[in-house]
Amino acid sequence: MGLIEVNGIRVQAFHGCLEEEGRIGGNYRVDVSVEGDFSRAEATDQLEDTVDYGKVAAIVREQMAIRRKLIEHVCKHIMVALKEQWPQHRHWQVRVVKERPPIHGNVEEAVYTMKG
């Protein structure tokens, strides 16, 4: 078993329940990991035998570009898109971090993590 992690995918997106968030946007970080049998990639040294980091980042950027209210909803759509691209890998984790959410007080980040 192996673990691939693509961490710190940074995007500006327009998620949130507040109207201003749809206009101004905010900074987000997304971390993705997948656990599975990567022995074929270990043996062949071929990109098609593993999870392509570039495609992971592209899927995240594509899904983050679609305005949604909740990071939970965003996270679910990222997870679904990753599983559609690589259905053979079953143990995914997606973590969406909303930096400096516009809530009362000094809050560094709001985070939602989904495993599936």
Among the listed residues 42, 60, 46, 54, the one whose alpha carbon sits nearest the alpha carbon of residue 3: 42
For the chain, how many structural domains are there in total? 1
Residue 84 predicted with pLDDT over 90: yes
Lowest-pLDDT range of 48-57, 77-86, 102-111? 102-111
Give the pLDDT confidence of 91-101 residue by residue, as tens digits.
999 999 999 99
Give the pLDDT confidence of 10-64 residue by residue, as tens digits.
999 999 999 988 999 999 999 999 999 999 999 999 999 999 999 999 999 999 9
Q: What is the mean pLDDT of residues 78-95?
A: 94
What is the CATH classification number for the domain harbouring 107? Answer: 3.30.1130.10
Query: What range defines the domain where residue 62 resides?
Result: 2-115
The contacts of residue 53 (CB under 8 Å, 6+ apart) are: 4, 6
